[in-house]
Amino acid sequence: MTSTLRLSMAAALSLALAAPALAQSSGTSGQAQGQATGQAQMTTTPATATADADAQAQADFAAQTRAHKLIESVKQKGAKTSAEARAKTEAKLETAAMKCDEQEQSAGDAKVAARLAAEFKMTTEQIMAEKQTLGCSWGQLMIAHCLDANANTELTVAQLWQMHQDGTGWGQIAAGLGLKLGEAVSAVQAEGRVAAGLAKPDGKVAVIHGDGARAGASASVGANAGVHAGGAQVGAQSGIGVGLKIKP
């Protein structure tokens, strides 16, 4: 065997022996790199989630704080109206609510829901879910929607109802929202006729004027008590309401 042939065979044998070592080295390097990348991703993802959660918590706290201030402002302003006027308004609104609730017994829950849903521009499913979530009667929900639709406020129907549950009368709430009490009674009574099927729901909530009334409400009042405000409409709210509404 010539020396050249022996050298060639030795070189080939050296390469054959080195190949597994190189492959193992490459595999180990790739595995280490993959582990490092995976660890970096695992470290980054929890940090991002924590930051998002913190930001949401801060936003929720800010919303709750603002809602609390608005609620207290409404209570304080309403308390400045004479106790006699507030009491008379409260009695009339509660009477309208009870008449609305009587419709649930005579006409049935579904019909009352359908009528009020059409009036407040909601679906029947939405208003029934809202009633169930809030735990109020149709009459009480009707009052809350009527006031909310007319008032230029960031407070929701749910927050107005909660105020009432906490002991603030509807008369004080209406006055605190800057709505004229006499017109508030007339408007709720008009919506009560819708709930009773005596007036057709048209998606326009009966108008209430006042320094806190929503801009765009009709300035004219017709011959009947069921006149409606073209601009005073409540948007569809699922459960706990929904524009510039605050949801703590």
Q: Is residue 212 part of a domain?
A: yes
Q: pLDDT digit string (tens) for 51-98? A: 888 888 888 888 888 889 999 999 999 999 999 999 999 999 999 999
Q: What is the model's pTM? A: 0.68
User: How many separate domains does the chain show?
Assistant: 1
Instruction: Return d(Cα 148, Cα 126) in angstroms, integer.
Output: 17
Q: pLDDT digit string (tens) for 102-129? A: 988 888 999 999 999 999 999 999 999 9
Distance between first and last Cα of the chain: 93
Q: Is residue 182 part of a domain?
A: yes
Q: Is residue 176 part of a domain?
A: yes
Q: For residue 213, what are the domain limits? A: 66-248
Q: Is residue 87 part of a domain?
A: yes
Q: Is residue 32 part of a domain?
A: no
| Residue 23 CB contacts under 8 Å (≥ 6 apart), including other chains | none
In the predicted model, what is the mean pLDDT of the chain? 79
Q: Is residue 232 part of a domain?
A: yes
Q: Is residue 11 part of a domain?
A: no
- For residue 96, the model assigns a pLDDT of 97
Instruction: Return d(Cα 155, Cα 124) in angstroms, integer.
Output: 23
Is the C-alpha dihedral spanning 137, 98, 184, 225 positive or negative? positive
Q: Is residue 21 part of a domain?
A: no
